[in-house]
Structure formats: structure tokens, C-alpha cells
Structure 1
């Protein structure tokens, strides 16, 4: 199906002035490209931030022990507070009306981890059975830890994806033994790989579960050695059923811990949802800056379209006069010039989208960011930009239609 003669004529008219048309397109291309790149990088940043926050638990409150490493300072602190305990987690669960499950975690300071198939430099933690659900961790093979494992002090472990590959290369680890320091453990599960791409988010460490060995918290407390005056647990996650109350609940937990710990500043509260909101606030500032740059580019592009259209009117006065003399109406002249403007705007929109996509991936590759696309906003933005360019062409088209045919022919 061929192009209609009227549209072909408009394309040929612009093609005869290739350099001028290209220079006119540049403003639109840069403006649309900036908007497309901004949306691609912005959407990628939003999804990446959401994925990272979900790894912490979007509806969780995380309480982290922050006891000093200095022994004298630690003794002074312990005179007022025994440190973070499971009793603190239960108290927080009892105080908050919308609190759900909680999970405790204790880091193990291990020196060696190996099996009959290999060794690895991995981290180890004792965790409550609810830890995997609250941290959005999925078991790929075998099973997760259970309450029975915890109650019976079972010598079992769940491995992260990377740890399983290093400790049991080329073989299925389920049911096999590994040794963590002096303790033998039987592997009952392997976690699915979850590559977050970053080691931390807004200053909070994440993503280490891939290179991790998880054992039941009670088993860890009973089977491994700990230093005197250590916290019973290093952190706990508390799920809140109503996400709108996370901020108030966090303040309430802070007051509760302050009372239970005698005013000692030995805990830190982390609310992943607030981290996400802070990240999005920063992203909005970035979007405003990029949007302003794009708006300037579009303004320049619109002025460029107006300039070329006015130049076309001046150069084609005789053509306009002849058309009017043989019976063309003013509306016919307006449509003729607007058709050329549509070709320019449509071309600028298509090239701008392609340029914006290339720019987004270039920025992502240089800065280490991710790119994601939401087609409808991009198409709407490109369409709006094209309409802005088209609006700038209305005045020149009306100027062409207002020319007196006789004066136009004489002027030529």
C-alpha cells in the first residue's frame, strides 16, 4: 500500500531541503530523546529500588544491634542493657496491634566451611524459620528450616545458591554433610539465586544470602561459640500487616527498646519502606532536572520548526499565489503546510525514541544503572512532544494562507 500523493509531496518537499530539515529535527530529537532516556533510567531505578527493598521486606521493620566493639565501652553498656534479645522481638510483637510474624538472626563468626567436595569462604547465620518468608527468599531445592528443626536443635543447614555451588561443585548438596568450624551439618535446602546487582541500598547491606549458610537459630546458639557479652541476636525482622502504620510502629518500637534497654543507644531501626520513599524522592529530583532540560530542547525544537516553516512560506510565495489563483482555499494551504509539519514531527518522534533508548542504555552502562521500559508513558510523551512541534507550525501555516494571491505572484 503506497503513500498517498499529498503525503509523498510533503516528504519530497522536505527532502529537497535536507540540511534545513535535519537541523529542524535536532531540537525534537534531543527533546524527545532526553524524555525517553529519563523515563527508561527512572523506571529502571524505580524497579531496582523496589526489588532491593522487597529483599529487605517492604512491610518489615528491622531492628539491628549496634553494640560497641571496644571491650570497656561494651562492659559499661552491659551494665544498663543486656543487648538485643528474642524477648525484645516478642515484646515488640505484643505491643504493636498490627504486628505479624518476626524472625531473629544471629551472625556466626566462622573460620572454615568445607565438605567432602570443596571449601568456600562463606558467611553463616542462625535464623528463625520465618526468616525466609520475611526476607522473600525462595527455596529452589529441598526445604526451608522448620520450627521442628529449631525446637530439636537439629544439625541442619540451608545453603545460598553460590555457597552450594562452591561447597558441592557438580553434585546435588541435598542430604550431604558440610562442616562449619567444628560442627557437622546436613544440607536440607538450597535457595534460589537472587542477583540484586548491588551489595547495599541506602546504606543497608543486602544480597549476601547467596554466599550464606543458614542454620536454625536455637541450634546456632547451642552448638557454636560466642564471645562474652554478645547480643543474643544481631537483628530481628518484624512484619507489619498495615504498611500505612510502619512509621508510627517504628517510633513505638524505638520507645519500647529505649525503656527495655535502660536508655542505652544500642539498637538501630531500619524501615525499608522509608528507604524506598527516600530513594524515590531523590529520583523525582533527577526527573525534574532532566524534564527541564528536555523542555528547553523541545522549546528550541518548536522554534526551529516555526523558523523553517516561515522560511518555506517566504520561499514559496509564488507557489502559494498560483495555488490560490487556481482555486485553492485558505484551508487547503494551511493543510498543505501542516502536512509537512506532521512529517517533521513524526520523524522527530521516531528518531527521538530510538535516540533516547540508545542514550538510556549508554547512561546505564556508564553509571552501572538499570533500564526498564513502560511503553505507554513513553509513547504518550513522544506524542505530546510531537504535538508541541505541530503547534509551533500553525502560525506559519496561517501566515501562508493569509497571503494575497496577486501580491504573492508579484512579489516573486
Structure 2
């Protein structure tokens, strides 16, 4: 039976879509990496193993060819030098490198080095441990008085144990959980410090495909690791987590390498502003020989994170938008068919009925139940949305005001 108002669209996880498994990044004791996420995407192209085995042979042939040519050339030159009179050595004066004395050249604004320099002082490593089990991940400081943002799946292992935050200078503090929202895979920690370096939050709505993307974190416990790439895609429907606590992410996709331990760390733009929280990766699977980064990483847009974090810091809780419906996970056609409608909920008040198929949310096509939930979670409670529905043989549009449910500490 659906729980009125708290059944956020569907408490059941839709069947995993086809494509590479996407996971929250595991962590480093072990590294809490990205959870392997589920997403709608084609199967990855796997390199032909035969082509891979031929490559060393080709390199070997090239190396032999170079050695033979060098030997022949050396013999000819050597014979000529032997018959020529000795020449006095030429004296060369080399100018010192610009800057001299090991001084680094200035980096242009927008360079990877300048982005790393701006963001890294506010990036921290996080370890969570309880009952002999633990995990590690990444976080970033959002206020000078000690509030730290990370993924919910990074801190879960320490909810009944110990969570520690390590700073770039090597010092560390025990942290408390201020609040968390598993639906968005976001958690906020507090450490007893002041005057901390903080990140600058950007505007994820202004991000476009092709923008510079820089990920900073602690993959496999290697603190302060910087990787770079571009924004590969936007609005990727990604789910992570288990049946009990599934996160639905309207993700930013990037090819900046993200690995286990990067979870909860910042994804920054060319201005050094944080535009997302690194949360999940797609892999080829354990049987494919590559379980780390394959250039498919996913981050939670910072505009969603900003709302949730603000609510948690102010109240210790955060809200999640809901419609008061259940989704039919067995529906095989395009769209999301409603399995149930909660009495008195937003959907019923707007005139939705069991059997209606949601085709679009605010003009955004809905491929399946997961895409539907993600599209709604990208909004905020109280937002008005336009649904395009198929009811029987007819299509109609309905305006609906989203309700809310609350996530506690």
C-alpha cells in the first residue's frame, strides 16, 4: 500500500536500465567511490582484445626498425668522422628558463592549475567507521564555521560510529552529521573549526556541454588528486543505492576521471566554482577487466545541492518534492504509467488517475519510470509543473503543484 505523501512518486526502485552499471563510487576503507549508477545509455564499446594483443608486436617492429636504421647511420657517420681531422668543441651559452631559480610561471585564469589552486584548499577527505567496517570519500567546506558537504553514501558507514574529516594541512577533526537526504545522496557534516577556506558555489543551470570540468578528491585515498575533462552531457537519469535508500539523480555527466574515493567531492567549472557533487560512475563491470573510471562520471547539480544543504543547515532536515503516485515498474512502453494515486495528494487534486501514462514533464520527454522520478526530483516542493499525459487514446496536459516529504538527520 502506498504511503500518502511520503511515497515520493514510487518507493520502489524501477528496474535497472540497460547500459553500463553505474555505481556510487566505493570508498577507501574501502574508498567510498561513486555508487555504480543505473542509467539509460547504450552499452559501452569494448576494445577488441585481439587488437590489444597485436599492439606490442607493432611497437616491437617499430623499435627494431629504428635500431637498424640508427646502426646503419651510425656506421656511415663513424667512418666519415674517422677520416676527418678533429674539430675544436663549440661553446654554447644557454639562457635560464623564464622565471629562473625554480619560480613557477604565472598560470592564466581558467587553466586547470588556477582552478585547482582556487578549490583545493576547501576540499577534505572523509573517513567513516562503525563496528569494524569503514569507508572513505571526499567532501568540501561550504562555510568558514565548519559545514562540510559530501554524499550520503560516504557517511552511512559511520552513522553509528565515527566520522573524521581530514584537511589539506594534514590535521583532522571528528565530525557530526547535521542532516542528510538519501533521496538526493547528500549529507552535511559539522566540524568544530572556524575560519576555514570555502568553495564558491556556481550555477549548474548555466552549464553547457563542452564546458571545462575539474574533479578534486581522494580517489583510493590519494588526497588532493586533480583530474580534468569536459561536461559530456546534462540531465542524465541516474539511480544509485539499494532498495532501502535509492537516490535519483538528474546528473551532470563528465569525462573527468572519477574513481572510488572521489564520492562527495566537488566538480568545478573554469572559474573555479563548484557546479556539482561527484557521486557515481559507470563501469564495464567486474568481468570486463576495468572497474574504475571509463570516462563516464556523474555529479549532482549544485543548484539542487544548494537548496538541500541550506535547509539542512537551517533546520537539520530537508524536503523532497512528491506527486503522491506509484509508478508501474513493469510497464514496457515509452513513458511512466501510474500504478496508484494517493488520495488527497497533488496528483489526485490535479485529476490524474491510475493507468495514465506520463510522457513529458515541463516538455522534457519521459522515457520510463526512472526518468519520470528524476525529472520530478529536479524540482523543489511547491513548484508548478506541466505534465503531458496519455489517458486511453487521448493526450492531455495537466498543471500540478508538487507536495513534499521531509528527510531528517
Shorter-chain TM-score tier? under 0.3
TM-score normalised by the chain length of structure 2:
0.23
Specify which structure has the higher proportion of helix.
Answer: 1
Q: Which structure would you say has the larger Rg?
A: 1
- Structure with greater proportional strand content: 2
Bigger RCO of structures 1 and 2 (CA < 8 A, at least 6 apart): 1
